[in-house]
């Protein structure tokens, strides 16, 4: 069974991400086709890049890093739920992406952004990072407006049209996740020479 991690990309007190993440999880579970799990970055104590060896080496000194690596490794695809802070993704989400490397490779990603302008700039920056992490990101995304999808900018009440956008994104995500499984299962060739 394909496993999809729905990553809540904010740890800010009073954040909207938890409500958005629960909505994505509920709708995704009803959509089916995979096993979906909420992954809240607030549950991981990822200090800002305190590993002395670059993540690409896969030599994690800290237990919290190994725990995060095991979590990421366990999924075939991800839905990143991200706010937009100052025209960018949250620092905690970037840190979580940078903490490990190979565990992300050859998997698929979709995005649910929220903010004044639907989180579109945060998602665009995430797409650049996905390329380096060897993650295939899908084109369809969900953009939630603080003005139209939240009462008083805080109580999440999404417009019904977002369910169709989410379903389209999930269909693409699952298709890519299944296709990339064959890439992840290929044996690594021995060096020549």
- The predicted pLDDT at position 3 comes to 98
Each of the 193 residues of the chain gets a pLDDT tens digit; together they read 999 999 999 999 999 999 999 999 999 999 999 999 999 999 998 888 788 888 989 889 889 999 999 999 999 999 999 999 999 999 999 999 999 999 999 999 999 999 999 999 999 999 999 999 999 999 999 999 999 999 999 999 999 999 999 999 999 999 999 999 999 888 767 777 6
CA–CA gap between residue 92 and residue 97 (Å, rounded): 9
**In whole angstroms, what is the distance from residue 137 CA to residue 188 CA?**
23
Domains and CATH numbers, the chain: 3-185 (3.40.50.360)
Whole-angstrom distance, CA of residue 175 vs CA of residue 28: 14
Tell me, what's the pLDDT at 193?
67
Tell me how far apart the alpha carbons of residues 178 and 168 are, in angstroms, rounded to a whole number.
16
The pLDDT assigned to 188 comes to: 67
């Amino acid at each position: 069974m394909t496993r999809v991690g729905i990553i809540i990309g904010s740890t800010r007190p009073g954040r909207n991400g938890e409500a958005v993440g629960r909505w994505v999880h509920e709708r995704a579970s009803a959509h089916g086709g995979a096993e979906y799990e909420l992954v809240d970055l607030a549950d991981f104590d990822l200090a800002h890049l305190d590993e002395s060896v670059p993540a690409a080496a896969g030599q994690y000194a800290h237990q919290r890093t190994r725990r995060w690596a095991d979590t990421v490794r366990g999924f075939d695809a991800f839905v990143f739920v991200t706010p937009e802070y100052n025209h960018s993704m949250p620092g905690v989400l970037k840190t979580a992406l940078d903490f490990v490397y190979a565990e992300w490779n050859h998997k698929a990603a979709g995005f649910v952004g929220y903010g004044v302008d639907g989180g579109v700039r945060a998602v665009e920056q995430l797409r650049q990072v996905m390329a380096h992490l060897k993650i295939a990101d899908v084109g369809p995304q969900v953009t939630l407006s603080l003005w139209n999808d939240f009462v008083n900018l805080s109580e999440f009440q999404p417009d019904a049209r977002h369910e169709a956008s989410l379903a389209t994104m999930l269909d693409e995500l699952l298709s890519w996740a299944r296709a990339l499984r064959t890439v992840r299962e290929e044996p690594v060739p021995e060096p020549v020479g």
